[in-house]
Amino acid sequence: TSEIIIKIISETLSTLGMRLSKGKTKFHEDIIYNSIKKDKLSWKLKHNSNMSLFDSLMAVKDFSMEHQNSGTIIKEMTRIYKRIYGWQKEHFKKDFEIFIAITCDIAIHNPSAFPACAALLSKFLSFLDDTETKKNINDIIEKLGNISYTGYIEVWLQRVTIKQNIKYLFNDELCKLNNSKTHNIWNSDWLHSKLRNKIKSTNFFDQNIISKLDNVINPNEISMFLINKSSV
């Protein structure tokens, strides 16, 4: 039946000079099963709402190996973060470095989920002392430093560390603006001197806003990154 329907549609489209895309056109006998995206179905079959934090992160990690950058990963990492945002140290049953390692691994393979990953890292790091925090941040930067979207990650890592007692110097041009008001992120020599001086004298970091930030990222800070994935 499905073959006949596709044949009729194809013949009709051909009269209009159009055709179905082979890459996007599929037919199935089981309408119910195949009406759900494979990544969503895979997640529904393996996910359990009663999972521990460790099991939840491992489930996302396992899922992400088959469905890289799926919108489901962003949603689940955000859901996990909202779940633990108000937790105190005694709620966590395992070493924080284990959670940090799993979260970093998910971030490496799923850059679109990094805002939620950064938020989780900020929560885990908040329970460590300065020495442990510095060690873990250095490990995170080293682990994530060899991937192509390092700049994007460094911007979020700067948000994670900007309220810490330890200062970190990141390589991304945008991150350097917080350390030097005179740093140029682009070549503006070709601009009129008045406009060029205006740009150079502008502080792109609003210290008033930064002073009000908590060292743990608020869920509202990452919620905007769910908008484009709301229908995935």
* Tens digits of residue pLDDT in 76-108: 999 999 999 999 998 887 789 999 999 999 998
The closest of 165, 152, 167, 98 to 126, measured between CA atoms, is 165
Q: How confident is the model at residue 231 (pLDDT cuts 50, 70, 90)?
A: very low
What pLDDT, in 10s, does the model give residues 20-68?
Answer: 776 666 665 655 445 556 666 565 556 666 788 998 999 899 888 888 8
Domain segments of the chain as ranges: 1-35, 36-229
Whether the predicted pLDDT of 227 surpasses 70: no
pLDDT of residue 62: 87
Which whole-number Å values give the CA distances from 25 to 28, 145, 152, in the listed order? 10, 39, 35
Q: How many Cβ atoms from other residues are within 10 Å of residue 139's Cβ?
A: 14
How far, in Å, CA of 63 to CA of 60, rounded?
Answer: 5
Whether the predicted pLDDT of 120 surpasses 90: yes
pTM of the predicted model as reported, rounded to 2 decimal places: 0.74
